[in-house]
Amino acid sequence: MQVTTLRAALAAGPSATAAAPGHVRTAWAALTARPAVTAVLVPASAMLVLGLWGLDRASMWRDEGVTHQVATRSLPEIVRLLGSADAVHGLYYLLMHAVLSVHPGEVALRLPSVLAGAATAGLVAALGVRLARPRVGLWAGLLYAATPLTGYYAQEGRSYALVAAGVTGATLLLVRAVRQGRVKDWCLYGAVVTATVLLHQLAALILLAHAVTLLLSWKRLDRQAWRNWAVCGCATLTVLLPLARLTLGQSGHPAWLAAADEGSSASLLKAFAGPTELVLTAALLLACVSLNSPLERTGRLSLNAVAMPLMVLPPAVLLAASQYAPLHHDRFLFFALAGVPLCAAAGAERIARGFRMMRSRPGRRAGGALFGAAVVALAFCWQLPLHQGDRTTDQRPDDPAALAKVVAERIGPGDAMLYLPSVARRTALAYPREFQNTNDIALARTAAASGTLYGQETGPGELRRRLADLEHVWLLAEPYAASTAWDPKSATERAKLTVVSEEFLLRADYRTRSGVLRHYVRRPPEKPVGWSAPAA
């Protein structure tokens, strides 16, 4: 009843609202008193709710498992690891170490990403407010929150949601620094950019996007703005250089990446603008309206000059670079998504201004904002199955918890376990309780003690000696390693395959999406040639 009354008041305008009951006037006042604040808080709150929805999936996929097992090490052990592997995520691991030291669970693992997603939705809205008007910010923030890709990374225990928050925050600080020109604003901008780049080095592409933003607005900028930006950029790159050199020495670790192909651009576009055809078409049309009929500037920088380079340049550069080196993945470019809802909201604002009904009476401005929010809510409902699917383990690359459960149910205390290849040990590191009674027969030094991600294994000779007296052994293999076509490069991995195939027989085989668990028993001794059973 209250909602119906409020809607009637919105439709009738401010005169009818003044005559409405007290609770309606209170709700109206809350909506219209501080529109800029409302435009930021509503998307941030919506994103927070979406991020918390279904947060505990009861399974960490493999990269989340790496985050968990690294972040729960001691600080000296983490620092030692970063010297040999995963330095690109070093700052994130240190941050998560502080978080998981309070409560080392899956919800706590993903909670920083949820909060970062909510912050990014609010920052996108703040950009819309600053560059256009409050309702543009409201629509942009809600569009960001309603995008399935946003919810996907807001519920993942990796750094990508935090990087997106840092990039969006830095963009807002750039707008502020250009407008006000204060040294402290430029220092804050440089600090946020540097911290974001240290979270993930490919976020340095934001400097290129910001450079183009300034270039598009060069007539309205003075030399001091360019000098301040150049100092911030050089300081960031100077801090990044040692980390980049260290990471290049670890270039073998992202070997799973594939080169971009003709379908990569289309896949990225659908992920950014809307996986469903209807939402994708609407978003592209609105972006075209924004590009061809831009909104007037409210400061030195226009909305298009800020949003277009952000959403176009980082993907274009990384896709081009991936033709020569495998660097492309949607997660590395997630931070560029913030430009899409800004352009779409600007296009919607331009269309809304074309309707005289929306601008004929000032009292209908809040009604127009609510109408646009309702359209975004409709788009969210249209894509609701995608959001629901992202809250399950089926939409993640693997499900190590299911494999760990199989291990716990099948293996007895003290049973010998082989991992093929050694990276398959990540399931045991992510879920140590299910593996606590197993005997890791090939392990020489643990992951934490050796400063590696998955531990150091013994050589082939020692492995054969350890297997010689065993009557049975369990083998946990990655899906690709369970294939007969797999040809390992490591001598220890080849020894595992040779000994198991020559000296053991397969007794049982348990397959999951994340790996294969096999039980082998020793072959019976061969009977001598000419041997016959003794007479009774």
* Beta pairing, strands 439-440 & 416-420: parallel
Pairing of strands 504-512, 515-522: antiparallel
Residue 270's pLDDT band (cuts 50, 70, 90): confident
Q: Which residues contact 456 (CB under 8 A, 6 or more apart)?
A: 443, 444, 445, 450
Whole-number CA gyration radius for the chain: 28
List, in order, residues 6 or more apart from 309 with CB less than 8 Å away. 208, 209, 210, 212, 213, 216, 339
Percent of the chain with pLDDT over 70: 87
Q: Average model confidence (pLDDT) for the chain?
A: 87
Residue 23 is predicted with a pLDDT of 56
| Whole-number pLDDT of residue 21 | 57
CB 66 within 8 A of CB 75: no
Q: How confident is the model at residue 357 (pLDDT cuts 50, 70, 90)?
A: very low
- Residue 3, pLDDT score: 40
Q: Residue 454 in contact with residue 428, Cβ under 8 Å?
A: no
Which comes out higher in pLDDT, residue 144 or 105? 144
Which tops the pLDDT comparison, 263 or 394? 394
CA distance 156 to 117: 11
For residues 391-417, average pLDDT: 92
* DSSP string computed for 294-340: PPPPSSSS-HHHHHHHHHHHHHHHHHHHTTTS----GGGGGGGGGHH
CA distance 231 to 245: 22
Selection from 30, 5, 32 nearest residue 20 by Cα: 5
Residues 6+ apart with CB under 8 A from 39: 125, 128, 129, 134, 135, 137, 138, 141, 369
- Specify the higher pLDDT residue, 206 or 245: 206
Q: Each residue of 1-29: b (16+ CB within 10 Å) or e?
A: eeeeebeebbeeeeeebeebeeebeebbe
Cα–chain center distance at 336: 12
Predicted local distance difference test score (pLDDT) of residue 26 = 60
Q: Which residues contact 500 (CB under 8 A, 6 or more apart)?
A: 418, 473, 475, 520
Closest CA to 175 of 209, 141, 138, 135: 209
Q: Where are the domains of the chain?
A: 34-252+260-393, 400-522
Query: Which residues does 174 contact at the CB level (< 8 Å), separation at least 6?
Result: 189, 210, 213, 229, 301, 306
Name 446's Cβ contacts closer than 8 Å, sequence gap at least 6: 455
pLDDT at 14 > cutoff 50: no
Q: What is the pLDDT of residue 415?
A: 93
Number of H helices, E strands in the chain: 26, 7
Percent of the chain clearing pLDDT 90 (strictly above): 66
Is it the case that residue 326 has pLDDT exceeding 90? no
Check residue 16 and give its pLDDT. 45
pLDDT over 50 at 515, yes or no: yes
Q: What is the enclosing helix (H) or strand (E) of 507?
A: strand 504-512
Q: How confident is the model at residue 30 (pLDDT cuts 50, 70, 90)?
A: low
pLDDT tops 80 at residue 527:
no
Query: Quick one: pLDDT band at residue 151, thresholds 50, 70, 90?
Result: very high
For residue 127, the model assigns a pLDDT of 97
| Residue 148, pLDDT score | 94
CA–CA gap between residue 91 and residue 261 (Å, rounded)? 31
Kindly report, residue by residue over 425-466, the tens digit of the pLDDT: 999 999 999 998 899 999 999 999 999 999 999 999 999 999
Relative to beta strand 472-477, strand 443-445 is: unpaired
258 C-beta neighbours (distance < 10 Å), count: 11
**Gap between the Cα atoms of 103 and 316, Å rounded:** 40
Give 311's contacts (C-beta < 8 A, 6+ positions apart). 272, 336, 337, 338, 339, 340, 343
pLDDT at 2: 40
- Residues whose CB is less than 8 angstroms from the CB of residue 484 and which lie 6 or more positions away in sequence, other chains included: none
